[in-house]
Amino acid sequence: MTIMEWLQGESGKLLTAGLSGSAVSVAMEWTGVLPAIRKIVVGSACAMYLSPLAVPMLEWGLGVVNVPEENGATLGGFLMGVVGIVIIEIIVKGFRLRLVDPLDTRQSRRRRHDEDGA
């Protein structure tokens, strides 16, 4: 299989769409070379693995959107390329919040204080 054949396949189309979306994201918010590289890498990875979520998220956010099924994968890849880094940041922050629950921290401090004072 040549590179051109791979690029014309499903994975190649997703990667191309993700790279294109990431390039749009970088062009819209230029913050330097290293952040641009990070956006392109993360956006492309999100396009490859999270693209099935993009069209349902678009429909949820905008209401009824009619996307032809044959274009859904590449549209999803493009959208994930554009917003992929934001989605990953939200997911990581959500994990951090669940790991450090402020309520549990206060309760454990109170228990230690009660044990030390008793």
pLDDT above 70 for 90: yes
Look up tokens 């044990």; give the residue: 115
**Domain span at 17:** 3-86
**pLDDT in the model for residue 69:** 77
Q: Given this model, what pLDDT does residue 10 score?
A: 85
Residue 12: inside a domain, yes or no? yes
Question: In whole angstroms, what is the distance from residue 52 CA to residue 7 CA?
Answer: 19
Mean pLDDT of the region 75-89: 90
- Looking at every residue in the chain, the average pLDDT score rounds to 84
- The total number of structural domains that make up the chain: 1
Q: Is the residue at 14 inside a domain?
A: yes
Task: List, for residues 5-52, the tens digit of each pLDDT value.
Answer: 888 888 899 899 999 999 999 999 999 999 999 999 999 999 999 888
User: Is 73 inside any structural domain?
Assistant: yes
Give the pLDDT score at 30.
92
